[in-house]
Chains A and B, each alone.
Chain A
């Protein structure tokens, strides 16, 4: 097990290098000159421009720029500064709690709603409840995220006035609508995955054994069938937590949350390359670490899996 973890941690190095290199290259290749963009319409002397280029390493070849940046990130947690001179780390510290809160709310939604819907659909298979759940899930999965976002903002935000539709000034309530939007598609996937897994488990020999042992139906479903069917669902939920960071870019923009996703969005528009690279690098690290944890969790849940 320890050997496996060490091997996996070593595999992180090429993955992180490749992912950050691609991000860095894409930002580097973006059209336009960030110094000119910074100056805007005001005239800027060539000396000042040159000094700024030197300060942000813009005159160095691409790979040297990249290496200098990554060295700073991994040796001193220095994610660079914006053109206004604000440290990117400062922005991350401000935005990270908001994004993590959003992710946590979304995670709770998809885990709780997805699992409950999946269980109901499987236990009451082919009944009205099952059909209703299935149809609603297809609709949710098929609708574009943006459409769901606007629909919820319109109904529950503007017409009913139950939830705020922008910003996070009202505390946890502000995270409910964006959380639902971020969770929508995955909730559908979780429910459908669990439904089919549970239906299969309920027809299995070990469930028949549990029934023959005189166990109550509720115990047969929860202790025997569900314990098995949840294995793929839990691993999906874990991996999905990592991909939520990407989804946060859209959702935070739509709901105007000052989290990391919204910052990436605004920084791309403003050509604040250091911010984009800094935050995306963080996302990449988050993704690989979560994936390792999911793989380890898988071995805990399924005793037949052993990493040696």
Chain B
């Protein structure tokens, strides 16, 4: 389906440009405690129909990335220190605010983690979904309500006609997240950003919601950015993965290579910490230590204090994100050795 010509100036877009391109994005938080480098040189491209998973632990900058792309980052304290975000070749960061607002929810849309707090508690869900049509497509109340019912049916909410006037608290967690999804896909966006869409849900419901997202993506040929800390979720749906650590991309490759030939010690550590049914022994492996404070980054590689392979070089020189194979990049001095599996841990790291 196409967007209404009055609300989306698609004619200005470069058809040869990738759907979404993030180049050397730098975001910092200027607080009283100092400047925190939340994102430090983020790069990726996303094409139509593709799923990029951004993986990382809390504070690694993955949610900040999503909010910066959406343009909903709180500024201040947030501050975009550099880089570009191009949607169909157009730089979102230098775009006029009013023009950018018209892209939000229409061309680039987002699903949040906690649907209960992300939905307005005092407005009926049908109203909240219908608002997309009323504001962006200038539909009347009745038409918008009809569209809301259709969308609620599409995302699998039973008895949509009866429930369109209900409030968010009257739905279960899984149903609420479906309502969020209905709202986000209402206007057939090109890019959908899902920020930990299943973290607040039961495991069985998680699988249903992920399946729904995948279905909708295929149906509308959307570019999907899936932000998660769950490697299990990633394996099922992602095409490409960017592993983030302390505001940097540590490794970026397709989903098969990340599991078969990880080329960064952090990725390797994460994979080893997954519980395996065929594993020997009884203790689950972990990545020792904690991520660095963003206001006080260690010199050299940010991962070096926790890295079992770290050498003096790692403590002084920060490795760039460089290729190890076709479409596979890693920010580690020993990426080649890790990729080839010819390196062993040098010392026991104290946590």
Contact = CB atoms under 8 A, between A and B. Distances in A.
A219 B117 contact: no
Interface string B91-120: 000000000011111100110101001111
A222 to B, nearest CB: 13
Contacts of A302: 121-122
Interface of A: 204-206, 208-216, 219, 224, 227-228, 231, 301-304
B114 A303 contact: no
Contacts of B271: none
Nearest to A303: B167
Interface stretch (B12-20, B130-138, B330-338): B130-138
Nearest to A228: B122
Contacts of B349: none
B72 interface: yes
Given A211-B104, A214-B101, A227-B122, 16 more contacts: A206-B120, A209-B118, A209-B119, A210-B120, A214-B102, A214-B104, A214-B105, A214-B106, A214-B132, A215-B101, A215-B105, A216-B135, A224-B123, A227-B123, A303-B121, A303-B167
Contacts of A208: 72, 112, 118
B185 to A, nearest CB: 12
A235 to B, nearest CB: 14
A306 B70 CA distance: 37
Contacts of B114: 205
A5 to B, nearest CB: 22
Contacts of B122: 227-228, 231, 301-304
Contacts of B167: 303-304
Among B117, B118, B169, B180, the most chain A Cβ lie within 10 Å of the Cβ of B118
B42 interface: no
A234 to B, nearest CB: 12
Contacts of A231: 122
B157 interface: no
16 contacts: A205-B117, A205-B118, A209-B183, A210-B120, A212-B104, A212-B105, A214-B106, A216-B101, A227-B120, A228-B121, A228-B122, A303-B121, A303-B167, A304-B121, A304-B122, A304-B167
4 nearest interchain CB pairs? A214-B105, A214-B104, A205-B117, A213-B105
A205 B116 CA distance: 9
Nearest to B170: A303
Contact of A224 (B120, B136, B169): B120
Interface in B39-93: 70, 72
B247 to A, nearest CB: 21
Contacts of A303: 121-122, 167, 169
A43 to B, nearest CB: 70
B266 to A, nearest CB: 30
Contacts of B106: 214
Contacts of B123: 224, 227
Interface in B318-343: none
A204 B101 contact: no
Contact of B117 (A206, A212, A213, A215): A206
Contacts of B109: 212
B30 to A, nearest CB: 15
Contacts of B120: 206, 209-210, 224, 227-228
Nearest to B124: A303
A231 B110 CA distance: 28
B70 A212 contact: yes
Contacts of A206: 117-121
Contact of B169 (A227, A228, A304): A304
A304 B109 CA distance: 28
A231 B132 CA distance: 25
Contacts of B118: 205-206, 208-209
B57 to A, nearest CB: 21
Among A206, A213, A216, the most chain B Cβ lie within 10 Å of the Cβ of A213
A208 to B, nearest CB: 6
B72 A213 contact: no
Contacts of A304: 121-122, 167, 169
Nearest to A216: B101
A206 B112 CA distance: 10
A231 B112 CA distance: 25
Given A213-B104, A214-B105, A219 B135 contact: yes
Contacts of A213: 104-105, 131-132, 135, 183
A206 B167 CA distance: 13
B15 to A, nearest CB: 23
Contacts of A214: 101-106, 132, 135-136
B213 to A, nearest CB: 17
A232 to B, nearest CB: 12
A214 B4 CA distance: 15
Contact of B112 (A209, A216, A224, A227): A209
A210 B132 CA distance: 10
A80 B251 CA distance: 89
Contacts of A224: 120, 123
A225 B296 CA distance: 36
A204 B117 contact: yes
Contacts of A211: 72, 104
A123 to B, nearest CB: 15
A286 B297 CA distance: 65
B221 to A, nearest CB: 21
A210 B119 CA distance: 9
Contacts of B101: 214-216
B196 to A, nearest CB: 13
Interface string B119-151: 111110000000110011000000000000000
Nearest to B119: A206
